[in-house]
Every structure is written in C-alpha cells, then in structure tokens.
Structure 1
Amino acid sequence: MLKNPSPPQSRPEPELEQQDFIRHPLWVALLFLTLGLCLYAMISLGSYDSQDSGVFKIVNDQDQVSNWGGALGAMLADFLLTIFGYPVFILPLWLVLTGLNAYRERGVGGFRPAVVSLRFGSLVVLMLVTCALAAVYWKANWWKLPGDGGGWLGKSISGAAQPWIGGIGFTLLCCALGLGVVPGAFGVSWLVILDRIGAGCLWTVGAGIDMVRGLWLLISALRERLRRPAPVEAPEQQTLTAPQLSGPAPVARTPQGQEEVAGGEVIEAEPDPASEPEGSTGLKPVADVVPRRSRERPSLGLLNERPDTSENEAAQITERNQMAAMLEEHLANFGVRDCEVINCVKGPVVSRFELELPPGTKASRIATLSTDLARSLMVPSVRVQEIIPGKSCVGVEIPNKERQAVYLKDLLDSDTFAKQNSPLSLVLGQDISGAAVVIDLMRMPHLLVAGTTGSGKSVGLNAMLMSLLYKSSPEDVKLIMIDPKMLELSLYKDIPHLLTPVITDVGKAINALRWCVEEMERRYALLAALQERNLEGYNAKMLRANNPETPPLPIIVVIIDEFADMMMALQSSSKKAEELIARLAQKSRAAGIHLILATQRPSADVITGLIKSNIPARLAYQVSSSVDSRVILDRNGAEQLLGYGDGLFIPPGTSTSLRVHGAFVSNDEVNKVARFWRSQGKPEYIGDIVEGDPTQGHIPGLTLEEGDEAADEDRLYPDAVEYVRRTRKASISSVQRQFKIGYNRAARLVESMERHGIVSAQGDMGVRQVIAPPLGGGAGSDQETGGES
C-alpha cells in the first residue's frame, strides 16, 4: 500500500550538520567504551582462578585476589564461567563485532529494532547449543568448573535432552542449530566467511611462493657473484702499447650504436659524412632516412606533479554508505525490491556500486531506470553496467561529489606502463578502480576516437602522443600528423619523429595517405622477398645481418585529428580518402603502419561501415546523442558520460566496454617534451609524401575494376569530358551511347568527372548538373542537366 505523499518541506541543512557533528563523537565514545569493557571481560575471564572469591563461593582469605581484573573481575569471571562454561568467550566477541557493525552502519537507516532482535535471539540460541555441546564433549576441566566445560546451563540442557533424542541426535541437532544461527548472530554470511578463508589461504600460498622465489633469486645472485673473478687492477704509472697486428681489429656492434674493438675498449661510432643524405627529394624509402643511433629519452621531471590533497577516508566511507542506502531505497521505490549493495569500487571520477539482484530480476530492468536514478540521486548521470566480468552482480556507476584529476606523470611512472615492451604503448588513463590503462597499438592495430567539444578528446590524443614520445625513439617509430584545424597537433612540429611537417591542407592529406599505401605495398614486396609475415620478423633479420645498407624499417603511425572535417573539406575526393583509409586499415598491420582517427562528429556518413569493420578498437568520449554513441560503439552509453576525459573503450575481439578516465596534459608539458626532442636532432622529412596532384593517380594494388580512380587513366576520359562540356549532358546512358561502351565503364567515367568537379553529384531524381564551363561554340547552358536513365 502506497503511503500518502507528504507536502514538500525544506530541510534545515545547518541543523542536520549540527546533529552529525554531535552524533559522531558520541558514536566514537560508545564504540571505545564497548571495546574497553569487552577487553576487561576477556582479561578477567582469562585470568580466572578457582581460589578467588566469587558470586557462588567465598574463601576465607579475601585479601589475596589472583585475577587481573581485581575483585570485580574475579566475581564476573566466576559468575559467567559457572553459568556458561568455556563458551562464555563468545559473549565478548559478539559484543565487539556488534559494536563495530553498529558504528559502520550508523548512517544507514539509524537504529533498527528488527536487526537487533534477530542478532540477540541468534546469540541466545548459539549460547545454548554451544554450552550443551561443551558439557558433553569438553571433559578437560582446567579451571575446576562446577558444570564441566559447558557450565550449569550446558549440563542442565544435555542432561534433559540426551535421554529423549540420544547422543547422536543431540549432537546433530546442536550442530545444525549452531551453524544456522551464526550468520544471524554476527551478521556475516557463511559464503563470505568461506570466501575470506579461501582468499586468506591463496594469499598465504602466494606469499610463500614469492618468498621462496625471492630466496632462490638471492641465492642465485650470491652464487653468480662468488663465481665472478675479481677484477685485476692495472698499474697506475705504466702504459702498455699493444703490438700492431696485420689486418683490422674485429669490431662488435653494441645496442647503443657504439663500436667495441678488440681489447674491450668502447668507442663512439662517428657518422660518415659521405653517407648522410643530401636532400629529401624523390621517392625515398623510409629505411634510407632513419639513422640508427642512440638517443636520450625525456625525463618524467618535465611533467607536472600531482598536488598533495588530504582525503578524509572516514568521510568518504560514510558518503558511500549513504549513497548505497539511497540507491537501495530508490530502487525499491521504483519497484525493484530486495536489491543489496555488496561492494563499492571508488574511482577518481565515479564509484561503481555492485548490486546483487533477487532471483528473477532482469539486469535490463535496472538499465531502464538509469535516467530516473540520476534524477532521484541528484547526479548528472548514472550508467548501469549489466555485465561485470567475473561477477554475477550489476554495476551502477555514480559520479563522485569531488572529482580527482588524473595526471600523466603518475601513469607513465606506473608499473603497468613500465612492463610494456611495445614501442606503441598508449596511455589512455585510469579505470574505475584507479589502475593505469595502457594499450598496445600494434595489437589493435588501429584506433578510432570520437567525442564532442569539451569531452577531452584532444587531451586524450595528446596523452597518447606523449606516451609514444616517452616510449619510442625516432628510429623505432615515425609519425605522420594530419590536422585540418591547425590547432592541436601544431605543438609537435619539427620533432625528429615526423616524416613530414604537420599536414594542414586536405589535398596534401590525400597525398600522404596515398604515399602510405605505396609504402605498404613496397614493404609487402620486401617481406615476400625474405619470406617473412610481418615487420617484426623482417627487422629481426636485418638486425642479425647487421648491414648498414639495409637497416630495420620503422613503424609508421598516422594520426588524423578532426577526421570528419577533413572528409567534409575534401567533398568530391572524400570517397578516395575513404578507400585509402580502408585499404590501410585492411592490410597495413603486417607492414607496420597504424592509424589513429579522431573526430568530434561521429556520424554515419563519415565513419562508414567500411571503416568501422576494419577498425575494431574504439574509444568514445562524451557524445551529444545515443545515435552518435551507436555509430562509434555500436551501443548506447557514451551520451551518459561526464566529459573532461571520461570515456568508454572497447578493445578488439570483445564486446565489453571499459570505462576510462583520461589523463590531463597541459600545453606546457607538450611544449617541454617537444622542445627536448628537438634538441636531440632535426627531423628527416620526405618531400614526396605531400607532393603531387591529389586528384590524379589511383590506389596502388587495385585493378581497373576494383578502383574508381582507375577511370582517370581511361583513354576515353578526355573525350568523355569534352563531350559532356559540349553537350551539357551528364547522364551515364548518354556517355554509354555516345562511345558505345559498357555501363560500368561509363559510370566510372562520370563518377571520375564528379570527383574532379566537372559534374555535380546526383540529385533527388538522379540528375547531375554540369558545373564546368561550356566549350567554345558548345550547345546549351549551365542549367541544362542530364538524367540517370
């Protein structure tokens, strides 16, 4: 039966704060008083002496008391041990656990008589059965108690019950009742108890294994040190000259690009001036412009430190307990009853409350209440995670009252990033538990990023680039950056990792993508010649060969910021860019070419199915609608994010989304790291990457039937353009009839004219308009059109 709604009343916030200010010290005082009394009782019971005077016996010499609790402690111990026997130690333990539970749950529902009655009644039953069992089976009467091990109470119960149900029945009944009332008495489930026992055993076994492994490593290190011969010190004032040998001394290559001559002396390898490239003109393989030399890596001191902030752990626990109680209450109000919050995982931005649903309740029912829960809890948004890997509960992610910033220095200094051996290790941020999230772009092998303005997309892209600059040298990784808006990626200009200056012209972007396809085909030819399947195997052979003429090939990462803006600016060439990107996404993994595409407008006409099918790894920051979320993630959820770096990441090969909170990277940090790399050397640019006419050429590796750009090379193309400009007819059928060719060939010719801006795209009725001016003496006007018949 629903309660009558009461009129809204304004709650006096200062009075509530004053009550909490008064109640908290009282709860603390009551807790410590309870603990002190329990400790006193335990000491008195533990130091019980049958020679002391008590409630049930009086000795002549009352001045000598052996009990550590004094005369009062002796009387208390005599009374409790005489009545209950040895199971009396359960009473102080129960009182301690009850006090701790009451203090922990003081902010959830207040005083609950039903719970107190249940625990006290379970304690009474537990004492009865344990005393009865102790009276039967505890025959070792250490303290000479009158009722054996179970006291007078246990002796009376066992003496009355055993003649009726027998010894076996009495034992089974007592054990069943005792085990059954333990959860009610102590407020802990047997499943939780067994789970904690198992976790403790696993931790103990793991700690033992780690200790044995550590001892073994220590012993091995000591043995190695003992086997190592002592160094022989050379005389200080004596110089020995080695005899000249016939022939050059053997030279050993070191990983740092140094040379080690015979005799053990290490010398720096001087570069040969004749071998340095004189220019960057002409199509030059990437391997020819990558000198293998050692470079220093930037220091973490260039990045900002996390400011010291004091956190009140007790206040945060109280806040989470109150939020858990409010969540259970509001779910009950919406008709989902008997839900229990069993765990809470606190992150830097949100906290995940793990709900255990009653049998028969669908997780989708909780998901449909996300908007109502956000309104009831007075938070910006609530996200429901229906599946938590490894758990049977449902996660409800609620924003924290105070947001904690994630700093890039903490992530780059983490063990997770240090253990990554891949040169393409990208830092995304922290997960919901505060652990660093680091991915390997080589295994992705491409990444699609989307998010609206203010969602943290650009900052997240900077964090990825900074992690590349900290992990990889210019000899290992080369970058091609495309920034149509000329804002974000300009900070990285002239760093030695770049193959070409930051590209801001969309025409040059098409040339860069075409060059990447050509470089991919060239690398596949090299791999086929050496019978290798990927770039790693090829580079391994080059390192073993140690031939300066064929150095290892670097990995190429193409970063396109504002991908949608580039596609919109290309207009007629957008299809060409889409095909180039799709071809790279399909084949470039083995050739060591990887893509990172970022856009703030994840619409279906920009992120097409052809691109999405070849880029399974997606990272979505906050988007404006659920439609955009489905475009980038194939599901809802990104529209409920909080912005400022809050994102959802879907790794390849899985459908489970991971919530990440991106790291903050300031422009000052980017400038410091970029300035450091500029001091290490100048970039070796390849001029042919951005040169050429973007409207000419075809995609390498495609045949005439596969690539529409091949129509540019058709010998009929100039005649077809002349015919269209003269007759002002742009229909495929007219071109087909005029030149007596097939429909597919005529369609390729007309579509090539559309890309070159000669004719317009099809209208609503399939009609194209001739845009190019007419030839001299041509018939018709600019307004004449041709239909697609």
Structure 2
Amino acid sequence: MGATTSGKRGEARRAASSNSHIQREVFGVILIALSLLMLLSLLSFVPGEATVVASGDPVAHPPRNLIGSFGALLAGGFFYAIGGAAYLCPLLLGRWGIRCFSQVPMSLELRTAGSSLASVVFFSAFLHLEANGIPTMTSGIIAQGIAGGVVGGTIAEGLRTVFAGTGAHIVIIAGFLVSLLLSAPLSLGEAVRRIPQSWATVREGAVALIPERSIEVEKTVSNRRVRGKSARSATLSDEDESVAGRDQESEVISGLPAPIIQPFRVVHSSRDVEDTDLEVVVPARESEDYRLPDPEMLSDPSGPLDRMSDEELKAQSEVLSRALRSFGVDGTVTEVRPGPVVTMYEFEPAPGTKVARIVNLADDLALALKAISLRIVAPLPGKSVVGIEVPNRSRETVSLREVIMSDAFRRARSRLTMALGKDIFGAPVTADLKTMPHLLVAGATGAGKSVSLNTMLLSILFSAKPSEVKLLLIDPKMLELSVYEGIPALLAPVVTDMKQAGNALNWAVGEMERRYKLMSKMGVRNLAGYNKKIADAAVDGELRGGDVSVHLGWRMEL
C-alpha cells in the first residue's frame, strides 16, 4: 500500500514538473513574440503618429508603423516614458524569453528581470543627463529635450538636485553597472583580463582578410640560382624585395633567426588556363661547405659483455624443459635466439597441450631459472611454438653509432628516419617519423625517456641537412634540450619560457594550416605527393598561373 502511494506521488510530481516546464516554454514564446513586436514598433516609429492614432480615425489615417496602430501607440508610450532607453526593452524581453527554455529557477529569473528593469531606468536617466536641452535629437519626444523620457528625466533631475551634475553621473553609472552585473552572467574583472586576448583575435582576423601576397612556389635548388630562357627568365622584382623584407622583420618568437629567403619572379610558357595560386614548402639553401655529421664521431659500440656460450644456452634450455615437465607440460626447446638484453627460447609443446597452461606458469618458470622475471609470447606469430623471453645475466649497451651505420638506417629514404635500438634478436630497429600522425614518449622515472628522445633527434640530424628538416624544440625543464642550442637545424632558439612556447606552437599551427591549404589546391593528400607534383611540373615546365614567386626558406610569419 505504501509503495503504491509513493509511486502515485512520484507520478504526480513528474506530471507537475512537466506541466511547469511546458508553462515556462509557452511564456518564453510569448515573450519572444512581444520582443519582436516591440522592436519593429520602435524601429518604424514616426514622431507624432501616436497622438494621431489616439485621437483620430485609424482607417482614415492609417499609421505607417509596421505593427499598425498598436505599434504606434506602444512605441510612442515607451519613448515618452524612458526615451532612447526603449531600444533596450525588446532585447531584454527576448533574452528573458530565451532563458525560459533553460532550467534556471524562477526565483533567479525574477531577480534577473528586476535587475534588467533597473538597468533600463538608469540608462534612461543617463541619456537625459547627456542630451538634456539639446534640440537636435533625432525623433519625437526626444527632440523636445527629454532623451531619457519622463522616468529618466525625473530621476536624473532629482539626482542632479542632490549631487549636482558630476555626482549624478557617478551615481547613475554606478547604478547601471550594478544592475547590469546582477542581470547578466558577466564579470568586469574577467572582461578586463580578456581585453588583450580579444585584441589579438581582432588583429588575427584583420590579418586573415589581407589577400595572399602572390603565388609562391618553394623548390629545392642545388647551389645555383634559377636561370631561365626567354619563357622561363627569373628576375628579382622590387615588390618581392619589399615582401621579403617584411617577412624577415616579422617575428613570432623573440629571438627567432631570420629565414633564408631567395625571392624570384618566374615567367612560364603562356597557356590559356585559369590562374591558380600555388605555394610550395621546400628547404632553403645551406652553404656549399655544409656536410652532414660523420657517425664516426660517436662512441664505438662496446663489445659483448659476458655473453652465454652455446653450452650454457643448451644447459639453460634443458633446465627450462625440465621445469615445464615438472609442471605437467611436455615439449622440447627447438631454437634459442640470444639478444642484447633477453634470450628467446622457442618451446614446442606436445600435442594436446593448452597454451594457457604455459602462460600461467610464468612466475614458476622465473623461479626455476633464477630470473627476475620472464615474458611468454604464446604463440609466436607464424610458428607453432611458444616464445619464452628470459633476461640475460648481463645487458649489452646498444650504441647509437651501431644502429646509424647499419644497412637498415643507411638504406632508409626518409630524412625523418629514427634509430630506435635493437630488437630482442639483436637486429637494428628504425622507424619513419613521417608515417606517424603523432609520437608520444612515456615511461616511469629512469625508464630511458630522455635517452630515447635524444636518440631520435640525433638520428634526424645525422641524416638530414638544415635545409631539409627544421626543429622547433620546447624544453620547460631547461635541462633536456639545451645542448642543441645554436645548431643550424633549429627554426628558433630552444624555447624554455612557457609564454614563448605558446607563440611557437601558434606558429606551428599556422604553418600546418598553410600547408593543408596548399595541398588542397594541388589536389594531393600528403607532402610527398605535393613535392613530387611540384618537382615534376618544374622539370616539365608546366607550372602555370602567371607570375610565380619562388620562395626558398621557411615562412616565419603567421
């Protein structure tokens, strides 16, 4: 019985809540409609029309107000009461109507409505103080010198009697701000703090409206200037010189080195085609005597450290087989693969043995082999065996020189190839950063994050010239990347100030967006396809689109 009563009460509360919500929405629609009617009435107000409508025949003298007689009377009444502040009323009504569709409590809505009404009254008083006695105000009753209407004039004159003109201004402005803060969810302090950000947004928007300077094409030039014949002659124009000067003067980060820029004007064979903006991002020219670092300067790889002999590996295999048999798992070790850090034992279980039984014995096998831990790969891909990785007694130190001088690294075509180390079998491991959307390095303290990061950077520096790869390094700790300060491949000095880091990252975002636009214009999906298309067009003489400004270097401006 009690449960039934409780359920009925819950249904009644939900029904009441639903009805209340519907009532709020209906009220909101009515308020929005009234705000639109009032706005149109005020905008189409004709001075003196309200008096004619009130005393005359609206059929014989139809009002010119967009809302008819009702609009003429409504606008005339509001202008008479509060003057120019009447224009705030439809805005506040519309805002109140929209808020009725939210879940704001009604008590808060009433407080907001009262504060909004007070702000209108104070604003009308302010208009009266500013425009009282000026006979050239725009319309109707305002032209009679009471821009704030009867209400605003009464309040303003009363305050002027008590506080004089200056004091009345202070009181009215303070009252307007207080009522505005109570009626709107805003903070003056937050508004002041956002002024610099708003100014930056406006400035960026203004810069974005400036049309692109010219059709820019950046392509690799090997130690010689672009020379052409009559149809491909390249001459340096005064306009390009001024543009290049502005490029070098603009700085995104304080202390950014000036980019290497070689602007030219290239005239290609004329064809009946539509002009197309092209812009190519390719490396700048470095000095002729620049050479890549020699891997020989790296430390020699240390020799094998106490590697296990074949006899020891065979004995360890027998120990592993006996340990598995003691746990009821029959089989044989078919192959042993010693590596620099771990040794892989390939164990072939007897037919009918479940792999899960072997996986669950990892801790027991580590105890039997006197190992700190071991890893079981069950099964090995492409084989009918289970891989058991056991740590070596002594770990080898993997040398960067050994990996960089390996065939896997030397044969890599990408300039962003990174040497990562060796796999468990001792084979060099490399990766192409170009194929990775993102690269995150994570790990516990002492796991080798700094070593891996420096290895990746050095791999790029050993295979790419400064004209081929540029680095933008941000080092909040001021310890990890300071050793790279001053190298030619740096796009900017190593950033350690977080305020400057924001500027650097903003430049990077702008550069990414610029490249996306260029690839979109060329109809390609990646930089490799873009560079190939431009290189082929340059060789075949098919670059079209009028004058093309060849921009060699890295654009530093946003």
Task: Pick the TM interval, shorter chain.
Answer: 0.3 to 0.5
Q: Greater relative contact order (Cα 8 A, min sep 6): structure 1 or 2?
A: 2
